[in-house]
Structure 1
Amino acid sequence: MNRAAAIVILLLLAGATTRTLVTGQYVSYVKAGLWPLLVISVVLLALFATAKGHQPKVAWLLVLPVLALLVVAPKSLGSYAAVNAGTVLTESDEYPPLPDGDPVEVKIFDYASRAVFDEGRTLRDRRVRLVGFTSTGPNGERLLVRMILTCCAADGRPVKIGMRNAEPLPDDTWIEVVGSYVDETAEDGVNGGKIPFVDVEDAIRVAQPERPYE
């Protein structure tokens, strides 16, 4: 690869990364809190473009992420990823009372963790609002799912909640659910994890959130 081509590719990659930052598309690839590292990577790419040195032939491979960022429309992980991975929950040291509100907005991970590890104590007699996408369990049960990331989409894992009295909807439909805790769990067929349930009072279709991952 000649010097001019290397400069063009590095600047294109820096520009494509900048575009994902400006448009917010980067949250389809990495955890939202990692944006400072992406800014640093843009600066480093620009510096490398102006540096002198030998350009190895494999440098052409940098064209691939450029094409991926500029041509391929990003899509967040959905039901296919959810049904092929086990539900992921971690226990907290304490579960304080939910904030005021009726219904109170609760993250899917928080609801599932409280339902499984705290036996729903802080969820009883409360109406909750949950947002996630629909998926189908191994026995045909309707699931409300949200993916959580440690770093990037490659390590995304699902948190699953079963929905009692839910209207059948196509997989990957984003919905806002208002419901209440129900003392019921199912076993995830992938990893044996517990899947808690929510009794659905109302569900409406919504657009995918700007930040689809929890």
Structure 2
Amino acid sequence: MTAQPRTRAWRRRPLTELGLPFLLVLTGAGLLRATVRSDVYLRYVKEGLWPYLVASGVLLVALGLAGLGAEVTRRLRQPVLRRDASGRAYWHHPADDHAEAHDEDGHGDGYGHGGATRVAWLLAVPALTLLFVAPPALGSYTASREGSAARVERTAYEELADAPTTPMALEEFIGRSLYDSMSLRGRKIRLLGFVTAGRTPDTWYLNRLKVGCCAGDARTLRVEMHGAKAPADDTWVEVTGVWRPEETTADDPVPTLDVGAVRTVPEPRNPYQDAPPTAG
């Protein structure tokens, strides 16, 4: 009887036993960093999912810490000095009893989890991304590759206030151009969105991305701009102009605005919330 067969499985455990709990902690910390300490989560999902993301982050951290605590406690147990049949002394680790019994009943030899654990470590990449990197929200790359603009449902629009300029969400402007065009005639409108190149050099698009749940299902709302030089792609701007009465189809609704003024603005806190520009 020698020490090596008993200690082989024990020495294979650190990655398996400590790695997965550590990944849980890392992933949970990434979620909490993106939700509690910043608004980064708004670049991936809609705002209403915030409490569920926070709860998931707390649960993952708690489970990971519990797993780490249990494994560290196991490893802090002191080995016991024993003697084999020939009288030679060796250090016996309590964890070896379980590993040896596991070997003898044919269920494994301490090596079975290695491959799965190495694959599991790939989960550290998105977790570390959430912790240390803040990828930008979807923008011109996504909007320019949408074949057609998002459809806008018919709704009852309220009468617009009599004001020199009317701030309006992109979806409302598109909907009014389709179903309530009389409310737009001759009225100066101010819109907010990001820029993409147009079909011709003298045109460009103002866009917003509409999400149902997360960035993966984003659809593009767009308005074609005429009469002003295009800012760089992905630039967030407020545009003031007048609707151009042109035929727009409900299947690919892209109305046109004759631009009077363009003002560069910071990216909004929630880039996927199609809200009217603020007063000013």
- In structure 2, give the amino acid aligned to 1:160: R
What's the TM-score, normalizing by structure 1?
0.86
- Within 5 Å, give how 1:165-184 maps onto structure 2: 165-184=227-246
- Within 5 Å, give how 1:1-214 maps onto structure 2: 1-21=15-35, 22-49=37-64, 50=66, 57=117, 58-85=119-146, 86-99=148-161, 101-116=163-178, 118-140=179-201, 141-185=203-247, 193-214=252-273
Q: Decide which structure has the larger Cα Rg and report it.
A: 2
Shift of 1:100: 5.6
1:19–1:175: structure 2 CA closer, same or farther, 3 Å change rule? same
* Structure 2: runs of 5+ lacking an equivalent: 1-14, 72-112, 274-280
Q: 8 Å contact 2:25–2:62 — kept in the other structure?
A: no
Q: 8 Å contact 1:173–1:205 — kept in the other structure?
A: yes
- In structure 2, give the amino acid aligned to 1:32: E
d(CA) in 1 for partners of 2:127, 2:221: 32
**CA distances 1:97-131 after superposition (whole Å, capped 9, x unpaired):** 23464322211111112112x14222224222111
Where has structure 1 moved over 4 Å in runs of 4 or more? Answer: 185-188
- In structure 2, give the amino acid aligned to 1:133: F
1:17–1:101: structure 2 CA closer, same or farther, 3 Å change rule? farther
d(CA) in 2 for partners of 1:185, 1:165: 19
d(CA) in 2 for partners of 1:178, 1:14: 43
Structure with more helix by fraction: 2
1 or 2 for the larger relative contact order (CA 8 Å, sep ≥6)? 1
Instruction: Point out the more displaced range, 103-112 or 2-11.
Output: 2-11
Structure with more strand by fraction: 1
Q: What secondary structure, in the 3-state scheme, does the structure 2 residue paired with 1:195 have?
A: coil
* Structure 1: runs of 5+ lacking an equivalent: none
**CA distances 1:121-175 after superposition (whole Å, capped 9, x unpaired):** 2222422211111111334421111111111111111101011212222211111
RMSD after superposition: 2.4
Shift of 1:89: 2.1
